[in-house]
Amino acid sequence: MNPIEQHIFKQPEPYQSIMLYIRSVIKKTLPDVKEKYSYKIPFYNCYNKPMLYMGVLKGTNYVDVAFVQGILLEQDFPELKDYKNRKQVRSLQVTSIEDFDELMFVELLKKASELLKTSKRAWYL
């Protein structure tokens, strides 16, 4: 098992199932995405730049799927939340697979990937 799989399988339910599901959607939608275990959480990189990461934030009851360039996506995707006034990161707060909008997420992944393709760097603020 790689470090990302170990991390996910350490999570209690329902977080484990949510993270496995989101991971499968990411890999299905963007087959060239590179998984990287960094800062003790799974990162997903496109074009050698971090696109998103996910984890369960202390004191919350959801999986935080955080888009590095989220501030550029929030107008088209109002589902993205600004958790504790992050400068550029915006995230989906996923509490259950049943309430997760996969079609919206696929469109969000595609848009985020296109943004990174044309960006010189992921972190710009």
Please report the domains of the chain, with CATH numbers, ordered by start residue.
3-116 (3.90.1150.200)
Between CA 32 and CA 27 the distance in angstroms is: 8
Residue 36 tokens read as 């990287």
| Phi-psi sector, 45: left (phi>0), alpha (psi -120 to 50), beta | beta
What span, in angstroms and rounded, lies between the C-alpha atoms of 8 and 110?
24
CA-closest candidate to residue 90, choices 108, 107, 104: 108
Per residue of the chain (125 residues), what is the pLDDT tens digit?
A: 899 999 999 999 999 999 999 999 999 999 999 999 999 999 999 999 999 999 998 889 999 999 999 999 999 999 999 988 888 999 999 999 999 999 999 999 999 999 999 877 766 65
Are 8 and 26 contacting, i.e. CB atoms less than 8 angstroms apart? Answer: no
